[in-house]
Amino acid sequence: MPLAANQLSHRDVLVDTIRAFIAFCLISSAVYVLNDVLDVAADREHPKKRFRPIPAGELPIPLAWGLSLALALAGLAVAATSGYPAFLVTLSVYIISSLAYTLALKHEPVIELGLIALGFVLRAVAGGTATGIPISPWFLTVAAFGSLFMAAGKRYSEFVSLGDDAATMRPALAKYSATYLRFVWTVAAAIMLTGYCLWAFQVAARTNGSALASWSAVPFVLAVLRYALDIDRGDAGAPEDIAHADRALQVLALLWLVMFGLGAAGI
């Protein structure tokens, strides 16, 4: 949000953004540790997750419980210094939804997709609530359906890559079909791309018709198509691995960032 509003160069906004980033990193890390503790038995049977510190036995479970609590308290402490009540509300909703997913709803089809997507959306919304910058409806549209696109793509890739073991490794997959998951991530991608184009045109109009803001849709669309190729191959089970390994996707993301950033600045 601060980037789109061309306010990231303002010192106060930059400090607030960094604070929100740190708070969310701490809280999300606490949730991930808790999730690994609760899923330790299933993760030990997973071809990749079994190498994580907790299922591998490198991090004792009692110590993991303490680490999760410490990270959560640290995140809340950082958030408490923000001075924006809306940010604390955003963070609280993130914690509640994450706990609901981890403790009760991770095996409920569709609901679990919505909760995963909500977690990413709340991270994006925090950029506005932590800085006092109004949030564009088109930004929310892109964030919401982009998150659903990634969540459904992750499940589709898991469905494809795990094969007959999919339902054992992740019970929710037993209630999906590859066709249904493909339908979800295709619809989500279509709405996201439409929303982004409208948002980019809105930013361009606000900055006296900056061509870069409008043309930033080109690398954005290509990046989404590139990521969709990874999903279709069954390689998007761990989105962070794609971000680290796919050089073409990295180039497209950098090109988009430069074009949209300059466009938002009216260049």
- 71 and 123 share one domain: yes
Q: What is the CATH classification number for the domain harbouring 30?
A: 1.10.357.140
The number of domains in the chain is: 2
- 76 and 21 share one domain: yes
- 58 and 124 share one domain: yes
d(CA 173, CA 169): 9
Q: What is the gyration radius of the CA atoms in the chain, in angstroms?
A: 19
- 141 and 117 share one domain: no
- 79 and 181 share one domain: no
CB atoms within 10 A of CB 120: 16
Is the dihedral angle over the CA atoms 184, 186, 191, 195 positive or is it negative? positive
- 113 and 168 share one domain: no
pTM of the model as a whole: 0.81
Structure token pair of residue 113: 């997709």
- 188 and 126 share one domain: no
Are 4 and 203 a contacting pair, CB within 8 Å? Answer: yes
Domain of 9 in residue numbering reads as 1-135
Per-residue pLDDT tens listing for the chain (267 residues) = 555 555 555 677 778 888 888 988 899 899 889 888 887 877 777 777 778 888 877 888 889 899 999 999 998 888 888 778 888 888 889 989 988 988 888 888 899 999 989 988 888 888 788 877 778 888 889 999 999 999 999 888 888 877 767 666 677 788 888 899 999 999 999 999 999 998 888 888 876 656 888 889 999 999 999 999 988 888 877 777 787 878 889 999 999 988 888 877 766
- 101 and 224 share one domain: no
- 57 and 119 share one domain: yes
